[in-house]
A and B are shown apart, each in its own frame.
Chain A
């Protein structure tokens, strides 16, 4: 079973920041938080991951609370092409398998 809880859907206005929350209250000390997204009819795409520090890359920022029980993915300036299902996943980094257990994610709809 997925170890994360996400809202099933969210809306965001084009050009505004999209803030996607994720709860992972049972996260273990060796588990990272990963975010992937899946645009319709495509395979999932890696966005970002982190352990306890905030992370930023060209796609997004990841804010992890100090107790690591929740996190927020931030898309700073959402575009229509960011409409997708966003998955928050916790998993050990570089584990024996490195398989990812997906939940049902959050469907982000960016509105014009």
Chain B
């Protein structure tokens, strides 16, 4: 069990640029989640995959955000035309089917200048 891995740990970009983050879940974990966290707030749910199927997206998720999980393994989260309000920690988590424990990665800290 190597844990949930996220890459990069930090990303600094200019407003208007596109960014992509990667998440490698714990092997054999079918469920994968993306969360966003801003300073002083708890993590906010963004989207959820079961295997390769994206089954739920937050209504708060802008159309500039897209996530994929090809072949049900790693996942990517892309943000197009970044805005300063996108600056946050982006967390990935995985779990076994219908298991209560979510295992979180250490996150990708995005700063949009």
Contacts and interface: CB of A to CB of B under 8 A. Distances in A.
Interface in A83-109: 85, 87, 93-94, 96-105
Interface string A10-52: 0000000000000000000000101010000111111001000
Contacts of A80: none
Interface stretch (B12-20, B61-69, B74-82, B102-110): B102-110
B100 A104 contact: no
B106 A98 contact: no
Contact of B107 (A43, A87, A93, A96): A43
Most chain B CB atoms below 10 A, which of A87, A94, A98: A98
Interface residues of B, number: 26
Contact of B40 (A44, A46, A87, A104): A104
A36 B102 CA distance: 9
A105 B102 contact: no
Contacts of A42: 104, 106-107
B41 interface: yes
B91 A87 contact: no
Given A98-B95, A99-B48, A32 B41 contact: no
Given A46-B101, A94-B98, A104 B41 contact: yes
B100 A43 contact: no
Given A94-B100, A97-B56, A98-B98, A43 B4 contact: yes
